[in-house]
Amino acid sequence: MILVTGGAGFIGANFILDWIATEGSPVVNLDKLTYAGNPGNLASLKDDARHIFVQGDINDRALVADLLRKHRPEAVVHFAAESHVDRSIHGPAEFVRTNVVGTFSLLEEARAYWSALTGPEKDRFRFLHVSTDEVYGSLGQDDPAFTETTAYAPNSPYAASKAASDHLVRAYHHTYGLPAITTNCSNNYGPLQLPEKLIPLMILNAAQGKPLPVYGDGLNVRDWLYVGDHCAAIRLVLRKGRPGETYNIGGNSEKTNLEVVKTICAVLDELRPPSPPITRYASLISFVKDRPGHDRRYAIDATKIATELGWKPAEKFETGLRKTVQWYLEHADWVASVQSGDYRKWIETHYAAE
């Protein structure tokens, strides 16, 4: 039994589906069901007794304490977070509440629970905190990739809130002995990702013949990690990772945003050829005003997790992206369910053409 926070979101839902398929043991899924949480992501587990869903807030300490006491999990896997940079720029308060105060609340209850355990139960317990490469700041074109010892330099309210949560997790290990581990991942993509993010937004806009809005000059670089590879890495860290350590998880796939969009267009040209007057989906690319504090480049050095734990991504960017495009084309019902009026208003506000 494990307790997962934020398990109805993009990465959390993929992780739960992957966990039950590979490990087979039960999961308690605590999710507040904000805009990013979608119970439909876990529809295939509706009648599966191994998935116990609880709607609730990680800041509700009484609820968290009750779940820990009742289900006695061997691990807490902490995904729950506000995670969209643009949203953090326009409304940072909720990011501090969820990412900083929420993580503190969860750590306090996990510490109390773990402290009361004895013997093998206490030895097995892990608190795994899932974080981001954005805590490290921005890289120049020729700078070496982020390692686990790179100094923190967050540049957005989102990144700062995640950096604060990382520091709290570290402190709870070193001060109280809580067997906590942190993972910092690069940009995830794959099935179930909300279409406010770059890759699903471009897939769906192109398929509907809409403009493909690219920030600035499109040359911002990200390292892209297929969500299935990320889930496999987290399972491995839970099993073999050393408490008190940090593991960077990357896809070894640095791409400019413009490269990503053009690759999506090329895959769509093949899988769903455009209708006249559109001859190539790339003709829909447009450039919009850059967002404030837009980090130029992220890159992950995943040497540590490769050498210590034996993990490496199974997907290349091209294979993972093709799987992702196919998934969105084949799941029109899921797409329709998340494209609410509020969502469309958000897109219009943040990707308006210059």
Active site residues: 133-134, 158
Give how far the C-alpha of residue 292 lies from the chain's centroid of Cα atoms, to the nearest Å: 21
Q: Strands 254-256, 221-226: parallel, antiparallel or unpaired by DSSP?
A: antiparallel
Q: Dihedrals φ, ψ of 120, to 5°?
A: -60, -35
DSSP 126-162: EEEEEEEGGGG----TTSPPB-TTSPP---SHHHHHH
Strand segments (E) across the chain? 2-5, 27-31, 51-55, 75-78, 126-132, 180-185, 187-189, 212-215, 221-226, 246-249, 254-256, 285-288
Closest CA to 228 of 326, 324, 343: 324
Residue 196 is encoded by which pair of tokens?
Answer: 């406010």
Strand segments (E) across 196-331? 212-215, 221-226, 246-249, 254-256, 285-288
- Cα separation, 215 vs 334, in Å, equals 26
| Total Cβ atoms within 10 A of residue 339 | 14
- Cα separation, 341 vs 295, in Å, equals 30
Give how far the C-alpha of residue 13 lies from the chain's centroid of Cα atoms, to the nearest Å: 10
